[in-house]
Structure 1
Amino acid sequence: MTFRHPVIVFDLDGTLIRGTTLSLVLAEALGHRPVVEELEHLYDDHRIDNHEFAVREAGLLRGVTPERYRAPLAGVPWIAGVKETLSALTEGGCTLLLTTLAWQFAVEELEHRPWFTAVAGAGMDLVDGALSGRVDRHFHEEDKRAFTEEWCRTRGIPLAEVAAIGDSRTDLPLFGAVGTSIALNAGAEARAAADHVLDTDDLRDVLPLLRAR
């Protein structure tokens, strides 16, 4: 199987991970789920921005060691067909990137991380072997586009040859920059901005939209 785009950029929460977010997975394991649920509610209602969300969540994670957060991250609920889809795309010659507003330290622990050539997300450093509780790299929706642009620029790949798959308003800047955008199980803003809209419980259903014509 061959594909039209040499680079495919995926969002994570709501796109590859269904029914929860990495923030909620961590919060459930660490005992502060109600606080993070409220933060997500405030963000969804545009009452706080991503910068404020990250700062407040970071404080909740202060002192947490990798040993405490690795186990819950191993059990996140992936959309069906994720392994088969990522395998088909890489075997078809595509390079896969992952951009997310979630914590990059959490993304690095995920089961399917090895499929992605590069990932980008928010950063938090370790101090004496534990999370510092301070954001050392904010990652906003515009940064999804900036990261993809820079990655492609250094390799001579036009953005017109990139496809992006996401589900929310955080994907809009990237959707507007790439050759093909797919809103997968998405909210109204992403659906309105995308070239294709797909509702499915199986990621393999995106493959016909990406296949070479």
Structure 2
Amino acid sequence: MTPARFLVVLDADSTLIRNEVIELLADEAGRRDEVQAATEAAMRGEVDFAESLRTRVAALRGVSVDAFPRVLARIEPTPGVRELTAAVHARGGVVGVVSGGFHEILDDVAPTLGVDRWRANRLRVADGALTGEVDGAIVDAAAKAESLLEWAAQLGVARHATIAIGDGANDLKMMAAAGLGLAFNAKPAVRNAASLVVGPQDLAEVIALLP
């Protein structure tokens, strides 16, 4: 494998896409308001992410897998995302996404937006419906940082040639591990910790920062 020149890793929900997928799924259960409040608390860093995710996923119990196409139809890519991924590829870089969201949606969305590799949580299903449980280890803040470093090592990319882009508290470790941590559409704690803050909600603004 030819080493990549650099690696850009993004969060998914509210970064790669404008939505919070778990809230769209919660709509299907009629429980969006409570899940939305819990998501916002987790993104502000007020509660443990893994514990919060388990609680929010429990609210999805009974949602049919038939809901996935309806959720996919509501996904809105963040402005500038395709321009950014094209620019990364043109410069010899690789795009990764690591998400506290779900493979069930990201597996469809990521390749259409130019993402090369991705990692997310999986939802447990039984008899065609969600059980309200996460299947396997939860992708939390530590897992996000580990993914960035693991992918960089696989691609032969030096740590200083990595860029992490995120909006929530669970992105902070990934941003700290990267050579450049960018706060995008971010909560105050994330803006304060970032190397740089991207102001407009347009990922094309990141292109000028690429090596």
TM norm structure 1: 0.84
Per-residue deviation, 1:173 = 0.9
User: 1:56 corresponds to which residue?
Assistant: 55
Per-residue deviation, 1:61 = 2.3
Q: Is the contact between residue 26 and residue 32 of structure 2 (CA under 8 Å) also seen in structure 1? A: yes
Per-residue deviation, 1:202 = 2.0
Q: Is the contact between residue 45 and residue 169 of structure 2 (CA under 8 Å) also seen in structure 1? A: no
AA aligned opposite 1:179: G
Per-residue deviation, 1:97 = 0.4
User: 1:192 corresponds to which residue?
Assistant: 192
Per-residue deviation, 1:196 = 1.7
AA aligned opposite 2:154: T
Change (3 A) 1:45 1:88: closer
- Gaps spanning 5+ residues in structure 1: where? none
Name the CA distance, whole Å, in 1 between partners of 2:39 and 2:103. 18
Change (3 A) 1:93 1:155: closer
User: 2:70 corresponds to which residue?
Assistant: 71
User: 1:17 corresponds to which residue?
Assistant: 17
User: 1:126 corresponds to which residue?
Assistant: 125
Change (3 A) 1:89 1:44: closer
Name the CA distance, whole Å, in 1 between partners of 2:121 and 2:181. 23
TM norm structure 2: 0.85
How large is the RMSD of aligned CA atoms in angstroms?
A: 2.4
Structure 1 residues 198-207 or 85-94, which shifts more? 85-94
Percent identical: 27
AA aligned opposite 1:201: Q
Name the CA distance, whole Å, in 2 between partners of 1:195 and 1:42. 23
Aligned residues: 207
AA aligned opposite 1:77: E
Per-residue deviation, 1:5 = 5.2
Structure 1 residues 160-169 or 108-117, which shifts more? 108-117
User: 2:142 corresponds to which residue?
Assistant: 142
Name the CA distance, whole Å, in 1 between partners of 2:179 and 2:31. 40
Change (3 A) 1:61 1:36: same
User: 2:165 corresponds to which residue?
Assistant: 165
AA aligned opposite 2:121: A
